[in-house]
Amino acid sequence: MLVAVPKEVSPGENRVALIPASVSSLVKAGLEVLIEQGAGAGAFIADEAYEAEGAKVAPDARALYAAADIIIKVRPPDPAEVGLMKEGASLICLMDAFFRLDLMTLLAARGISGFGLEFVPRITRAQSMDVLSSMAAIAGYRAVIEAAELLPKYFPMLMTSAGTIKPTKVFVIGAGVAGLMAIATAKRLGAVVEAYDTRPVVKEQVESVGAKFVEFDLPTEDAEGQGGYAKAQSDDFYEKQRAQMKAKVAAMDVVITTAAIPGKQAPVLITDDMLSEMRPGSVIIDLAAERGGNTEGAVAGEVVEKHGVKIVGYTDYPSRSSVHASQLFSKNISTFLLNMVKEERFAIDLEDEIVKGALLVHEGQVIHDLIKPLMESKGA
């Protein structure tokens, strides 16, 4: 079986799905590996580094897809890429399936088995395959770095002959992987950090990385959903949350929002009215901007300014740390792939909880329990 790694075509995407260190493990398992020429350039990996580990290099995408039995990517393929794939091939990548039903239709029509890495179940055996956590950690780190660059203040407290500089106040909303990494990074830079999450169970984790846990007078018994993610709440809940959060946000120099609900648009947590109470020069890093944002007025991929507050809506934080992002992604995806290789043969075992959880499209049908109903409801 030939595993192919194409160059990412999404604008600004610098990651590569496989690094040379992972090639050798696939080759040892009996797989052939083909890399598109220049696929690793964004992560500063030369073609020769892949060849040294036993991979071959394809001159272009057309040649690569024509030979590929298994395709591993970072981002979802565009329609042109799907058109180049062999019928019956397998595709493994981040699919963004809830919002890419058109892609599910294309894959089914081509008879391609499509695995979405974001659907890998959060179980102990799959921890080394958890791409979402790997990339979220990078996003949390980069969020603080971007905030420090844009904020017209120091982060740490400084005592100088010219006077004492007070430390920056940072408020992190959402204490998942990205939020916890943001807290730890801001704390290392010397900020005073507070954090809030609808799930009180994360209080100990928040405090362990150096932040004060903020609690509001809100119901929390139904805050956690499947897989440990925060659960979507009612409009009334969000209205009460915003009312209590307003004063806290107004006192901050930097706010980092991470609230995302799988398969849904991000809840709006910071309104225009709340922005107007913040000090000019303050910064909001909205890590949910790709799905509408937690901040009213956030624009995906851009920095906008409202009431003197910069709202950062970048969606490519892992790509901005492409070397380590590629390293982690490569480990995750190669481990996922090798889980389906037994005695030098690739096989899709639907009895395997990990395989079944991530398999979206198979044998010409959309089969995933969460995606199939969406397809049917939209007549796709």
pLDDT digits (tens, 9 = 90+) for 185-240: 999 999 999 999 988 889 999 999 999 999 988 876 665 555 555 566 778 888 88
Q: Which of 90, 95, 7, 157 is nearest to 371 (CA)?
A: 95
What is the per-residue pLDDT across 103-147, written as a single tens digit (0 to 9) for each? 999 999 999 999 999 999 999 999 999 999 999 999 999 999 999
Beta strands 32-36 and 2-5 are parallel
CATH architecture of 2-129+322-377: 3-Layer(aba) Sandwich (3.40)
Rounded Cα gap, residues 378 and 164, in angstroms: 60
Same fold, 2-129+322-377 and 136-315: yes
> pLDDT value at position 155?
98
CATH number (3.30.460.80, 3.30.1280.10, 3.40.50.300, 3.40.50.720) of 136-315 reads 3.40.50.720
Give the residue numbers annotated as catalytic, written as ranges. 122, 127, 130, 133, 229
Sheet holding 254-257, edge to edge: 212-214, 192-196, 169-173, 254-257, 283-286, 309-312, 303-306
pTM of the model: 0.93
Helix 131-150 with 177-188: angle, nearest 10 deg: 40
Domain boundaries, the chain: 2-129+322-377, 136-315
pLDDT along the chain (380 residues), means of 10: 97 97 97 98 98 98 98 98 97 97 97 98 96 98 98 97 97 97 98 94 96 87 57 78 92 96 91 96 98 96 98 97 98 98 94 97 96 84
Rounded Cα gap, residues 178 and 375, in angstroms: 30
